[in-house]
Structure 1
Amino acid sequence: MGNQPALTSHERAAAALRDQFAALPPGAPVRLAKTTSNLFRFREPATRTLDVSAFSGVLSVDAEARTAEVGGMTTYEQLVDATLPYGLMPMVVPQLKTITLGGAVAGLGIESTSFRNGLPHESVLEMEILTGDGRIVHTKRGEELYRGFPNSYGTLGYALLLKIELEPVKPFVELRHVKFDDPMVIADHTDVDFLDGTVFGPGDQYLTLGRFVDKTPYRPSDYTGTEIFYKSIPDRETDYLTIRDYIWRWDTDWFWCSRAFGAQIPAVRRLWPKRYLRSDVYRKIVAWDRRYQLSARIGRLRGAAPREPVIQDVEIPLARLAEFLEFFHRDIGITPVWLCPVKLRDKETWPLYPMDPDTLYVNVGFWATVAMKPGDGPGHHNRLIEQVVTDLGGHKSLYSESFYSREDFWRLYNGERYRALKREFDPDGRLPDLYDKCVRGR
């Protein structure tokens, strides 16, 4: 991807990683030694892992060409810090700081530029991937591995180096929070730089329209300390943020999920160190609680009904969004809910996540627990959501728990193409199968 001195170091690191991979015993699980994760499929820690720390960092930024060469384990926080000084940002910056570039491409990422820039993998020009058969493969637009890698979740290989497109920014973002009733109005507001929405309940929903500006009429707001971004949406018709604070507006409180840890109680907020108001801190708390079942034990002692984690992002065609929200408010009841319009940037389709390139979808994100009623089986609410999403012609991201049957899963995620890719790039099955990893938790 280039001839800079940094790439020589990268090539040495890639060769060392290939040797690490080859040294793993046949049949041993292949896992990466990562300090953070944004997945909500919790597994026991692996005893042997691949050291990928050498693939974290931005190797180069070409301000004139508006491109960057980036290690696959680089977090978006690192990436944004490297590109903003050039007046540039990635085409899509997923909303949490510790999501890695490689993770957003092998999984799926989304944010408020997705209505015009699609998904993060669409702005990747080329990639270097350690495949399941131990090769390091360079792939670019139009090639089978390039097209099949998104939504493979590390079951075909791991991205070590990516060349990506960037776009220019201005110093500030002006926000307008507009209350709406009919979700179809979303299609009328695509003449902006940023677009997302928040649903606080039936009939209480807002679009947030963002535009780049060079200066602000007053001091920009700061939602990295005592103030909380999502609470400002119903109260402030207009707002201003620096571009960096806008990019990370959701990270400080993990959207609104920090309230589960008491971090939004004013007295607690004042004592909570600002450096720990971050999504990765909250996620570690959740992982610890899941492992030791503390919340579940306290609930049982109090005689409360068991609660089912419902942590999902789904893409619904805009024309069916009202139907989905009606179902969701009636049968699930989680609030708030995030809305993020998304349309594929180009006419190219992506085989493992087959969205229609001519359709405007809306990502609906919801992250909480729901009380279970007597007789509800495991995953009751999640299964119900999966069925409704399918019935409405939508799709579900696979970063969290899934409950599909094997037949339904492969029908929805193009099992025929996946198996062909698996035969070519992981014929011995060194990496897990996508169904086993995302549904069976292996």
Structure 2
Amino acid sequence: MFTGWEAHRAAVDTLVQSYRAIPRGDRVRLAKKTSNLFRPRAASTGPGLDVTGLDGVIAIDIDARTADVQGVCTYEDLVDAVLPHDLIPYVVPQLRTITLGGAVTGLGIESTSFRNGLPHESVLEMDILTGDGQIVTATPDGPHADLFEAFPNSYGSLGYATRLRIKLEHVPQLVTLRHVQMADAAAAVAAIEQICETGEYLGQRVDGLDGTAFTPDEIYLTLAHFTDEPQHVSDYTGQQVYYRSIAQRETDALTMYDYLWRWDTDWFWCSGAFGAQQPLIRRLWPRRWRRSDVFHQIVGLDERFGIIATLDRLKKVPGRERVIQDIEVPADRLPEFLEWFDAEIGMRPVWLCPLRTTGSWPAYPLATGETYINVGFWGTVVVPADAPPGLVNRKVEQVVSGLGGHKSLYSEAFYDHETFETMYGGKALEDVRRRYDPDARLSTLYEKAVRNS
């Protein structure tokens, strides 16, 4: 977990040496076996960047509330290192195995994003391996400020973070929850806006805010209050399933640790697809295997062996498309999006997570200070046998763009090049690429996100 500065420098040397071993003219990519991406990636036939030893915490400054963290360190390992000191990152993405570098270069979000923005907004400085093989230290106001600003949402197209210095937030060890049912999406938006402005709801401070929309008429906002007040806490790592409790309990309490990973145990609600929410199967399913990375591996096995496709043929299902997306729309457009989504997609529950950004980031341009709602939906839909690739996902892209929103690029994307460049800071990223990757050793963001190269 802890690596220290000497081990970190040795790991960076290994990384740089692996860069130099990649033949001139070959594209540079990570030699990383695991991923939280849900889009295909081109198979690498040659050597890649060796990130061995870049997966730990280098140092923690408890007084300054900062941590120096390696780029491939998971949030699970980071939380294990800092929470005993009553500290957590400003934003802890929902899944344990998301890495610090991945959350910054690929964006992450969670319930503190309504007040703390996205993970990159609490980064103080980064060491980045650029496309020309150099390690540069990027800060908001230093000589590499252009790289610092363009790096979020660049998905490795501008380089890879080897070290990040991040701010930490002091927290107590318990969290109380209020699951407040809203009359409809418009009422949910009104409550979200009020909480974003005041930081409280009905007189109580709100430290974390997200929502679960089970049906158009059953939407809950979950209001988290961080506290040291002793109380009985629930355990959703056993037989009980967290998301079901939202509609069953008006109030609840968790340890801070369990709150941070409340969605990971059942991969939100997606564990149900594997039978892991059935009481008998759940009793037999070891706790250590009830986690998102295990479920992700099961999905990978299905993609490899075509189990669901075989079952679909037996059931005479004409076709199936994977619709796994997180999108952001301005808060006031949420009711419109959900109305369209229910009519055209019909996938429930969906996750709602408000956010406000504090700066301008060219690769994911959101209006500073404006409230956006992240809508997460993950599953499959039946499509006609002759449906073109991405039929449903293309519709999602068009509607989200029309509502002034964006979608995250961790999953499949189908934009044409011109539209993509307009939406995701094409010119700004190209200017930075020319400075730090003059020989185009790295794939562009469009090549990574759309062409999967």
Q: What TM bracket, shorter-length normalisation?
A: over 0.9
Q: Which amino acid aligns with 1:188?
A: Q
Q: Does the C-alpha gap of structure 1 residues 358 and 298 become closer, same or farther in structure 2, counting only changes over 3 Å?
A: same
2:433 to 408, 422, 432: 422
User: What's the offset of the Cα at 1:201?
Assistant: 1.1
Q: CA deviation at 1:43?
A: 2.6
Could you say what secondary structure the match of 2:153 adopts? coil
TM-score if structure 2 supplies the norm length?
A: 0.94
2:360 is matched with 349
Matching residue of 1:187: 193
* Residues 264-413 of structure 1 aligned to structure 2 (within 5 Å): 264-344=277-357, 346=358, 348-373=359-384, 376-413=387-424
- Which residue in 2 is equivalent to 1:148? 150
Tell me how far apart the structure 1 counterparts of residues 267 and 40 of structure 2 sit (CA, whole Å): 18
Deviation sequence 1:25-45 (CA, Å, 0-9, x none) = 123343323342100112354
d(CA) in 2 for partners of 1:216 and 1:10? Answer: 40
In 2, the alpha carbon distance for the partners of 1:5 and 1:122 equals 25
Q: 1:23, CA displacement in angstroms?
A: 1.1
Q: Greater CA deviation, 205-214 or 423-432?
A: 423-432
Q: Is the 8 A contact 1:183 1:321 kept in 2?
A: no
What displacement does 1:225 show? 1.5
Aligned to 2:13: 15
Q: How many residues align?
A: 436
For structure 2, list consecutive stretches of 5 or more residues without a partner in the other structure: 200-205
Q: Name which of 38, 41, 48 aligns with 2:39.
A: 41
Once the two structures are TM-superposed, the CA of residue 414 in structure 1 deviates from its matched residue by 1.4
Alignment deviations for residues 215-262 of structure 1 (CA, whole Å, 9 cap, x no partner): 343x20001111100000000000000000000000000000001111
Moved more, 208-217 or 124-133: 208-217
Q: Equivalences for 1:75-94 in 2 at 5 Å?
A: 75-94=74-93
The answer to whether the Cα contact below 8 Å between 1:95 and 1:111 also exists between their aligned partners in 2 is yes
SS in 2 for 1:234: helix
Q: Paired residue for 1:158? A: 160
Q: Deviations over 1:351-392 (max 9, x none)?
A: 111100021000000000011136532211100010010000
* 1:36–1:98 contact (8 Å) kept in structure 2: no
CA distance in 2, matches of 1:30, 1:41: 19
Q: Are the aligned partners of 2:18 and 2:48 in contact in 1 as well (CA < 8 Å)?
A: no
| Aligned counterpart for 2:211 among listed residues 191, 197, 204 | 197
> How far has the Cα of 1:426 moved from its partner?
1.1
The answer to whether the 8 Å contact 2:106/2:154 transfers is yes
Q: CA deviation at 1:292?
A: 2.5
| In structure 1, C-alpha distance between the alignment counterparts of 2:309 and 2:425, rounded to whole Å | 37
Retained in 2: the 8 A contact 1:116–1:342?
yes
Give, in whole Å, the separation in 1 of the partners of 2:305 and 2:155.
26
Supply the AA of the counterpart residue of 1:207. L
**Distance in 2 of aligned mates of 1:90 and 1:35:** 25
Residue 419 of structure 1 aligns with an amino acid whose one-letter code is E
Q: Which has the higher mean CA deviation after the structures are superposed, 155-164 or 53-62?
A: 53-62
**Which residue identity is paired with 2:286?**
P
Once the two structures are superposed, residues 164-193 of structure 1 have per-residue CA deviations (whole angstroms, 9 ceiling, x without a partner) of 000011110000000002232211234210
Structure 1 residue 121: deviation in Å?
Answer: 0.2
User: How far 1:268 moved relative to its partner?
Assistant: 0.6
TM-score by structure 1 length? 0.96
Please say if residues 36 and 280 of structure 1, whose CA atoms lie closer than 8 Å, have aligned partners that are also in contact: no
Question: What amino acid is aligned across from residue 176 of structure 1 in structure 2?
Answer: R
Whole-Å separation in 1 of the counterparts to 2:270 and 2:188? 24
SS of 2:247's equivalent in the other structure is coil
**Does the 8 A contact of 2:188 with 2:221 survive in 1?**
no
How far, CA to CA, are the matches of 2:250 and 2:439 in structure 1? 57
Give, in angstroms, the shift of residue 293 of structure 1.
2.0
> What is the rounded CA distance, in whole Å, between the counterparts of 1:387 and 1:377 in structure 2?
16
CA RMSD in angstroms, aligned pairs only: 1.4
Alignment of 1:35-74 (within 5 A): 35-43=33-41, 45-47=43-45, 48-74=47-73
For residue 115 of structure 1, give the secondary structure of its aligned residue in structure 2.
helix
Q: Which residue pairs with 1:27 in the alignment?
A: 25
Q: Specify the code of the residue in structure 2 equivalent to 1:163.
A: R
Q: Tell which deviates more after alignment, 411-420 or 4-13.
A: 4-13
User: What's the secondary structure of 1:26's corresponding residue?
Assistant: coil
User: Relative to 1, partners in 2 of residues 1:216 and 1:36: Cα closer, same or farther, differing over 3 Å?
Assistant: farther
State the shift of 1:294 in Å. Answer: 1.9
Distance 1:437 1:44, change over 3 A: closer
Question: Partners in 2 of 1:116 and 1:223 — Cα distance?
Answer: 26
CA distance in 2, matches of 1:34, 1:17: 12
After superposition, give the CA deviation of every residue in 1:371-417 in whole Å (9 maximum; x if it has no partner): 11365322111000100100000011000000000010001011111
Aligned mates of 1:115, 1:138 — CA distance in 2 = 29
User: 2:203 maps to which residue?
Assistant: none
> Map of 1:118-129 to 2, 5 A cutoff?
118-129=117-128
- Determine the structure 2 residue equivalent to 1:245: 258
SS at match of 1:322: helix
- The Cα offsets for residues 195-214 of structure 1, whole Å up to 9 and x where unpaired, read as 00001011111000000111
**Letter of the 1:208 counterpart:** T
* Equivalent in the alignment of 2:224: 210
CA contact (8 A) 2:3 2:57 kept: no
Report deviation, 1:5.
9.6
Q: For 2:282 and 2:33, locate their aligned partners in 1 and report how far apart those are by CA, in whole Å.
A: 26
Percent identity between the two aligned chains: 55
